[in-house]
Amino acid sequence: MIPHRPAQRTIARHAGLWMSFAFAFTLSLAGCARTAPGSIRQADRIVVVKSTHTMTLYAHGQPTAIYRVSLGRGTGAAKVREGDHNTPEGLYTVDSRNDHSRFHHALHLSYPNVADRATAAKLNAPPGGDIMIHGIRNGLGWLGGLQRHADWTDGCIALTDNEMDEVWATVPVGTPVEIRH
């Protein structure tokens, strides 16, 4: 009869968990922002493409940074009403900045626009609001790029905290934001 060795099983289980975490962390680094050298300058336009989970900053018509983003945890369709957890599609502007948000920095978007209000009215529903570009929830910044592996927001556009620091430094109020499918 082989003696029961619970300590060895516990060590093996913990080692497996740490290896899984290390592998996931390594994968998360693969989607880091791609920024052209010396190109961190004020953005004059942002384009979010939901189908590719990318957000591109532009200055004078040239891309200056591309980020992999997480979006709303809804169906992936355009936002049509409050509580659907979808990221809207359309033309918006950054209308305010909040560095005291529950997330690491937040750029508030001008959602809902006229078309969004009309769509919600046809459904006899409120359109919702508080759509932002933001970092990870405060206190969870250690998640870093792991947050990219799932859409988890209520309809917002989320980046890592380090990426949000770059965006925060280069995107002023009034910047146009186009969100496409």
Report the distance separating Cα 36 and Cα 8, nearest Å. 49
What's this model's pTM, rounded to 2 decimal places? 0.78
Is the pLDDT at 57 greater than 80? The verdict is yes
pLDDT, tens digit, for every residue of 6-22?
Answer: 554 444 444 444 444 44
pLDDT, tens digit, for every residue of 88-102?
Answer: 999 999 999 999 999
Active site residues: 134, 156
Per-residue pLDDT at 144: 83
33-180: CATH class: mainly beta
CA of residue 141 relative to chain centroid, distance? 13
